[in-house]
Structure 1
């Protein structure tokens, strides 16, 4: 990966890191405060679901603003709106007020993710795409680890302190985007990519994004509730959640590099099976705090690696000019999965007990393994083409250029036809050839086609040979 590419990715990754510190423990704060206020798991699930409904709405609409005003200004708009909604949650502590504010906050947050993902996807080619997305997720999850560790500190301060800290961090995240970048991958025109076409183009990417939304939303919304109900204090809940996010952080880059070197469908099958095994171990093995921490570390690494690999797989099949819309579509699918996750999983926890959370993880993992295996049997991985060495784009349109074998072959054929066209005028003025052509004009016969003989009519065929002569 070149230094120029890393420098181009520095500003969005740093901005995401700052915003992610606060956003990483906001869901945990809301879950714990609603539980302390005596709200049921169903109410907690719906308030958590409001955030993901906002993600789905934003994923359908936010690309218009991005394409109209550019990456940097769009990021500033979305991050500022995140800060406002979080600060208002500190002023109005009511479940339905939080529902509305989380809805708006989700709409703004997915705008931030769309800016970052489209920036990174258009900055690199398929050879480094997995590692760029891994760096994206590493920044997000490293911030989440710090945020979870801040949970106990900010909650000990009492009142709206947690919301104030999160709002301040969201506001500060604008500074790297406004000050550092020299060039941003602005896109003048994006190819429309309707949802049905996205599903047809990459069913594996769509299902991977949806499954990731289901799993990650359950981790953020319901795992803190599970930990608190089995006896962990607020500080310990924050530490365990930090361990989950730390697992996501440390396993992102190895999984991303693995997906760059092998078929991403195989990687997705492995992730699904891994999550199923870890969930079964949590359900059936006798648990101690240290063993639970280790298994949650591995579960976080598997669950949170699912989305970037699915996005990388989809981007490998996206047509030129469609990366922004593809990223938007996958964010929408991911947000839909996140929105339906708490309302679906919380009743399972009500019926099967708190362990129903891990029964849900295990069932989801088995389904993903079956689906990805079926898709691989239907559509195997394409044969890789010759490696492409990226160069710095000289214009905004250069960020959308994709060099393929078809383009190279078309350019060669076009050059060959231009060479042949130089000889065509000689044919237009050449005299008809009678007898063998002269030695210095033999090449002209190559371009002349003989006049086709007229087929005899039925009346002529009926005549005797002598009469026809």
Structure 2
């Protein structure tokens, strides 16, 4: 294991530095937007720019890697990311920020894809689980550390934006100076949304809802903490609790879902999400510790539900279809992250900052109710021997695929002779 860790040390250091910048950026931008007096709807529009760029990058970046390689693409994307955050401090206009956030989203998603495909090639089947656990710790630790930089400065000045730009700029150094061999080019795969829906309607719909939920929180969580009267330090702690819940919650949820019909677990996650989101709606900054605990529970439902969708879809797919299924889920998830902040911003406009929690509660309710409806329809449960393993999705990666990067090509034709459809529809 130590040899494996040594082989990815420079990559993990680059990832950590990038994630510190990411955590600082994702908290700093909404706090500064609130300080500028922009409405929740305008802030949600800015957030949508980020998610549009993020989703587009999932399609475009693998093609770029095929042409010029991982290191060059990673360097180019880090340059874009640095330029976007520094320009944001110079041109504080919401129209400009929409475009700059789109650039940042494109760069961040591309960096994730490069890092994960690089990591995937460096590990073996025997060390994959432990190495991706290290990866999750690095990403989570970096993001939380970045959030706690916000209380150390004034978001209304350029200082924190410059610090963020410096963090992004130096994150390229460990990888650029490493003597390790670059990974092989990313392989293109095909997108099959129709096949995914036929295999697993609940995973198809669930991926969109998971994107709506996590995309909304990731984009507007900072607006919620600021508007609710929390200090920047308290807000950083609450956001950290959500991320920690998302990481730790995947362990019990994954194990339970491997032992039973995953749709039952989806229903339970939806119900728990509804109750915890409602609880946060009624809480105030006067009880911060209770708010942190509830936020941890919300996070433990918010992020693992995407991994549930991936595992559920793979349960009903032929092994040769895993990559196609995962790429389709990722695109659906990305579409959800685009729509989520816009609707969530409208909810906050109508009901105030805490309207975000009502919106999340409704999303959780739909997620759980749809899974329950599919069970009620009598769709068969997959036999335990046929279930794919549950794989945790690194937070806050927002749905990228740890199995490798993808590039969308075209819709595959469905061939019913390749698999027993009657046994695994659901």
> Shorter-chain TM-score: which interval?
0.7 to 0.9
Among residues 272, 275, 284, which one is paired with 2:273 in the alignment? 275
The secondary structure found in structure 1 opposite 2:46 is helix
Query: Are 2:94 and 1:103 equivalent residues in the alignment?
Result: no
Alignment correspondent of 1:342? 341
Alignment correspondent of 1:380? 381
Once the two structures are superposed, residues 422-447 of structure 1 have per-residue CA deviations (whole angstroms, 9 ceiling, x without a partner) of xxxxxxxxxxxxxxxxxxxxxxxxxx
Distance, in Å, in 2 between the alignment partners of 1:40 and 1:289 is: 25
Question: Measured at CA, do residues 339 and 191 of structure 1 come closer, stay the same or move farther in structure 2, by a change above 3 Å?
Answer: closer
Alignment correspondent of 1:150? 149
Q: Write out aligned runs for 1:240-389 (5 A).
A: 240-256=238-254, 264-283=262-281, 288-314=287-313, 317=317, 319-320=319-320, 323=323, 326-375=325-374, 377-384=378-385
Among residues 221, 224, 232, which one is paired with 2:222 in the alignment? 224
Once the two structures are superposed, residues 78-117 of structure 1 have per-residue CA deviations (whole angstroms, 9 ceiling, x without a partner) of 2332122112212222111111111111112111222344
Question: Measured at CA, do residues 342 and 239 of structure 1 come closer, stay the same or move farther in structure 2, by a change above 3 Å?
Answer: same
Distance, in Å, in 2 between the alignment partners of 1:340 and 1:42 is: 13
Once the two structures are superposed, residues 197-252 of structure 1 have per-residue CA deviations (whole angstroms, 9 ceiling, x without a partner) of 34444444443432222122222332322322232223332232223223334434
Q: Write out aligned runs for 1:190-201 (5 A).
A: 190-201=188-199
Distance, in Å, in 2 between the alignment partners of 1:313 and 1:91 is: 46
Once the two structures are superposed, residues 131-184 of structure 1 have per-residue CA deviations (whole angstroms, 9 ceiling, x without a partner) of 76655444322222111111111337x622222222222223323444558466
List alignment gaps of at least 5 residues for structure 1.
389-398, 401-469
The answer to which structure, 1 or 2, has the higher relative contact order (CA under 8 A, 6+ apart) is 2
Alignment correspondent of 2:401? none
List alignment gaps of at least 5 residues for structure 2.
390-403, 406-426
More divergent stretch after superposition (121-130 vs 286-295): 121-130
Distance, in Å, in 2 between the alignment partners of 1:30 and 1:387 is: 39
User: In 2, are the aligned partners of 1:145 and 1:243 still within 8 Å (CA)?
Assistant: no
User: In 2, are the aligned partners of 1:127 and 1:260 still within 8 Å (CA)?
Assistant: no
Q: Report the number of matched residues.
A: 387
Larger Rg: 1
Once the two structures are superposed, residues 38-94 of structure 1 have per-residue CA deviations (whole angstroms, 9 ceiling, x without a partner) of 111111110111101111222222221233444444333323321221122122221
Distance, in Å, in 2 between the alignment partners of 1:291 and 1:386 is: 37
TM-score, with normalisation over the residues of structure 2?
0.77
Distance, in Å, in 2 between the alignment partners of 1:280 and 1:149 is: 26
Once the two structures are superposed, residues 358-416 of structure 1 have per-residue CA deviations (whole angstroms, 9 ceiling, x without a partner) of 2211111121112234456525225436999xxxxxxxxxx99xxxxxxxxxxxxxxxx
User: In 2, are the aligned partners of 1:110 and 1:331 still within 8 Å (CA)?
Assistant: no
Q: Write out aligned runs for 1:377-416 (5 A).
A: 377-384=378-385
RMSD between aligned residues: 3.6
